[in-house]
């Protein structure tokens, strides 16, 4: 008969190998995770239980989510809160796992309460979970199952950057066979968007409601307006399909999508850039710019679309302007100086005419991170601006003094404008943890076996931090910064471990490229 010690060891081994490869022992440990999950569980009525109920949340997150600690308690708590809420939306269906947007059933959803609006956000966030099988199921659901048996199309119910997200997922969890399997469907889907939404001038049009951004200042439910959103998404999708096809050795397809991306990039810069306002703006169906700056004008940087020129970087000046997008509670969805700012509702519809939306905040922060990391011309932007706005975004996740994530907020008071509507709780419509891992700590996924880290932590902001148990290229990565060497007792400076082995040590918190072999 097995003794107790052997039973415990056997159980531990089963946890270690659950995702298909052995995990290294956590350096950070799960004590903080346990503390946060216990707290979040204690304030939750758990009206809806999906695949992983609260009772199993700690065990599941300990197996799946990277661990994080830093001196900024607001960022740290919200990091764990966002994993805890993301887990709530994992649903097991007869057609595989999916992630929902609303925790409660809503009328405009498809089967299993599925909605495609935040699909790109879901994939960007979920790629950092250890087991990528959940996302693979979810991606295949939208490509093959979502519209089957439905009275109206569901996949194209909203604009999407799914191809870009699929490629970004691949860079974290490489699987060429999966890409090979779904590439024909991705190619076909891009063509469908061209048939449905591409104008003769080559730009794409979209109703604001189909962008998931209804009642916006520049938007329309009827006019075929050419919006920075869908055009940036389609550029990102074309670039991703070019890279996927290249990776799989399909030169013809790679060339086809490279050409599409080149053309679309030029069209966006030539037609959607308003020289007089120095901003990317919606072009009206009848011609001319909408003449209003909206957060969607930052979307091109989410996909590294604009050229690296000072004139384009100037758009980001509006992020610091209180007549632009800077409000006491966060970044607005439209410029505050506009005469029609916040005039389209009373908080009971969906107002994108200025109120704060996590969806838009996370897009803008991703664009800003890309500007700071991938461009030389930064205008007035720096790591300090990124950090402050990320911190403010995290701080906005609160209601009645407790952690909360809802639909949208008043820019001055932080009031959640859907009130106590139960559908809004745990609203899975944005990213946060991807911004921590990919942008603030700065793990920059690549096709090769080089681990690239480009942190956006301002100088002297933190004396220490640790990001632990990150699965990347089938390895387990730990990044820690210890200015004095006394926090973790592993040595001074920036240390990087892969599968438990130290592969880098440097005295400064600065960009790093190191071979993982």
> Rounded distance, CA 377 to CA 390, Å?
21
Determine which of 7-16, 56-65, 299-308, 407-416 has the lowest per-residue pLDDT on average: 7-16
For 502, the token pair is 């130290």
**346 pLDDT tier (thresholds 50, 70, 90):** low
Find out whether 106 and 112 touch, Cβ atoms under 8 Å.
no
Q: How many CB atoms lie within 10 A of CB 188?
A: 10
Q: State residue 3's pLDDT score.
A: 42
Find out whether 480 and 464 touch, Cβ atoms under 8 Å.
yes
Q: State residue 1's pLDDT score.
A: 37
Alpha carbon distance, N-terminus to C-terminus of the chain: 42
Q: State residue 4's pLDDT score.
A: 36
Mean pLDDT of 325-347: 94
Question: What is the percentage of the chain residues whose pLDDT exceeds 90?
Answer: 93
For 40, the token pair is 């979040």
Q: State residue 517's pLDDT score.
A: 80
Find out whether 327 and 341 touch, Cβ atoms under 8 Å.
no
**Burial class (CB within 10 angstroms; exposed 0-12, middle 13-18, buried 19+) of 258:** middle
Mean pLDDT of 54-76: 98
Find out whether 363 and 122 touch, Cβ atoms under 8 Å.
no
Of residues 343 and 347, more confidence is placed in 343
Place of tokens 């290229």: 473
Find out whether 427 and 86 touch, Cβ atoms under 8 Å.
no
> Rounded distance, CA 512 to CA 455, Å?
9
* Residue 163 predicted with pLDDT over 50: yes
**24 pLDDT tier (thresholds 50, 70, 90):** low
What residues pair up with 465 in beta bridges, in sequence order? 481
Of residues 361 and 347, more confidence is placed in 361
Which DSSP string do the residues of 192-246 spell out, in sequence order? HHHHHHB-TTS-B---GGGGT--S-SS--SSS--B-HHHHHHHHHHHHHHHHHHH
Quote the strand ranges of 220-327, DSSP E: 273-274, 279-280, 326-327
**Burial class (CB within 10 angstroms; exposed 0-12, middle 13-18, buried 19+) of 245:** buried
> Rounded distance, CA 251 to CA 353, Å?
44
Measured in whole angstroms, the distance separating CA 485 from the mean position of its chain's CA atoms is: 33
Mean pLDDT of 36-50: 98
Q: State residue 7's pLDDT score.
A: 37
pLDDT in tens, 202-236: 999 999 999 999 999 999 999 999 999 999 999 99
Helix (H) or strand (E) holding 138: helix 133-140
> Rounded distance, CA 503 to CA 497, Å?
6
pLDDT in tens, 414-444: 999 999 999 999 999 999 999 999 999 999 9
Find out whether 336 and 327 touch, Cβ atoms under 8 Å.
yes
* Residue 23 predicted with pLDDT over 70: no
Question: What is the percentage of the chain residues whose pLDDT exceeds 70?
Answer: 95
- How many Cα atoms sit within 13 Å of 105 on the Cβ side? 4
User: How would you list the strands of the sheet with 67-69, edge to edge?
Assistant: 67-69, 464-472, 475-482, 493-498, 501-506
Closest-CA residue to 67 (of 31, 16, 13): 31
**Mean of pLDDT over the chain:** 95
**17 pLDDT tier (thresholds 50, 70, 90):** very low
pLDDT in tens, 308-328: 999 999 999 999 999 999 999
* Residue 56 predicted with pLDDT over 70: yes
> Rounded distance, CA 339 to CA 216, Å?
13
For 396, the token pair is 């906005």
pLDDT in tens, 244-296: 999 999 999 999 999 999 999 999 999 999 999 999 999 999 999 999 999 99
């Amino acid at each position: 008969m097995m003794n107790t010690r052997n039973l415990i060891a056997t159980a531990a081994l089963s946890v270690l190998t659950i995702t298909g490869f052995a995990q290294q022992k956590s350096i950070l440990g799960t004590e903080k995770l346990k503390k946060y999950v216990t707290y979040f569980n204690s304030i939750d009525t758990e009206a809806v239980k999906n695949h992983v109920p609260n009772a199993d949340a700690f065990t599941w997150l300990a197996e799946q989510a990277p661990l994080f600690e830093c001196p900024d308690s607001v960022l740290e708590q919200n990091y764990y809160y966002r994993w805890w809420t993301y887990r709530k939306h994992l649903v097991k269906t007869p057609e595989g796992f999916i992630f929902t947007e609303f925790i409660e059933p809503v009328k405009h959803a498809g089967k299993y309460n599925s909605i495609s609006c935040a699909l790109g956000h879901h994939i960007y966030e979920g790629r950092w979970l250890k087991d990528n099988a959940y996302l693979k199921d979810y991606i295949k659901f939208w490509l093959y199952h979502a519209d089957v048996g439905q009275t109206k199309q569901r996949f194209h119910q909203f604009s999407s950057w799914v191809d870009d997200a699929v490629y970004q997922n691949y860079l974290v969890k490489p699987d060429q066979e999966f890409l090979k399997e779904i590439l024909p469907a991705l190619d076909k889907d891009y063509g469908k968007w061209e048939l449905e939404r591409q104008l003769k001038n080559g730009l794409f049009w979209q109703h604001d409601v189909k962008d998931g951004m209804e009642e916006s200042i520049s938007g329309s439910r009827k006019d075929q307006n050419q919006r920075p959103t869908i055009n940036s998404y389609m550029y990102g999708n074309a670039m991703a399909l070019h890279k996927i096809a290249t990776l799989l050795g399909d030169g013809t397809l790679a060339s086809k999508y490279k050409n599409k991306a080149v053309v679309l990039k030029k069209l966006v810069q030539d037609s959607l850039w308003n020289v007089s306002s120095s901003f990317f703006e919606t072009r009206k169906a009848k011609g001319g710019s909408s003449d209003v700056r909206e957060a969607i004008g930052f979307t091109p940087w989410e996909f590294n679309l604009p050229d690296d020129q000072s004139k384009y970087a100037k758009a980001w000046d509006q992020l610091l302007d209180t007549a632009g997008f800077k409000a006491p509670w966060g970044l607005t969805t439209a410029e505050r100086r506009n005469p029609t700012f916040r005039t389209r509702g009373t908080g009971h519809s969906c107002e994108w005419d200025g109120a704060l939306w996590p969806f838009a905040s996370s897009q803008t922060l991703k664009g800003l991170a890309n500007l700071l990391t991938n461009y030389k011309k930064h205008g007035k932007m720096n790591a300090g601006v990124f950090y402050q706005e990320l911190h403010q975004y995290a701080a906005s996740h609160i209601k009645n003094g407790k952690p909360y994530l809802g639909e949208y907020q008043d820019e001055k008071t932080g009031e959640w404008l859907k009130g106590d509507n139960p559908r809004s709780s745990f609203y899975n419509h944005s990213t946060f943890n991807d911004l921590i891992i990919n942008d603030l700590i700065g793990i920059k996924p690549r096709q090769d076996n080089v681990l690239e880290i480009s942190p956006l932590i301002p100088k002297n902001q933190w004396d220490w931090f640790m990001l632990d148990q990150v699965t990347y290229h089938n390895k387990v990565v730990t990044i820690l910064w210890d200015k004095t060497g006394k926090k973790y007792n592993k040595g001074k400076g920036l240390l990087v471990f892969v599968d438990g082995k130290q592969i880098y040590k440097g005295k400064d918190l600065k960009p790093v490229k190191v071979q993982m072999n």
